[in-house]
Amino acid sequence: MKRADLIEVDPEKMSGVPCFTGTRVPVTHLIDYLEAGDTLDEFLTDFPTVTREQVLGVLELMRERLLTEYETAA
């Protein structure tokens, strides 16, 4: 999946906060849920407009970004 299939930033939607594409659900909500110890299934139940594939894709993007930054810093 491409980044545009996962995350969109639109100044007209949610004041430009990065959201899952096609939804009004900020990506930060996923992070907040995970930090609170909630499961992925709980997040998906509470935000049914977000797909499992979108969440897994965003987590993969975050992983790649983290590893790239780590490798660059080393």
pLDDT of residue 50: 98
Query: CATH number of the domain that 46 lies in?
Result: 1.10.10.10
Hunting for tokens 């407009």 — which residue is that? 49
Residue numbers of the domain that contains 39: 3-73
Number of compact structural domains in the chain: 1
Query: Could you read off the pLDDT of 34-49 as tens digits, one per residue?
Result: 999 999 999 999 999 9
> Do the Cβ atoms of 61 and 3 come closer than 8 Å?
yes
8 and 57 Cβ atoms separated by less than 8 Å = no
pTM: 0.87
pLDDT, mean of residues 51-55: 97
Give the separation between CA 33 and CA 25, rounded to whole angstroms.
12
Tallying the residues shown for the chain, one arrives at: 74
Can you give the pLDDT at residue 69? 81
pLDDT at 18 (0 to 100): 97
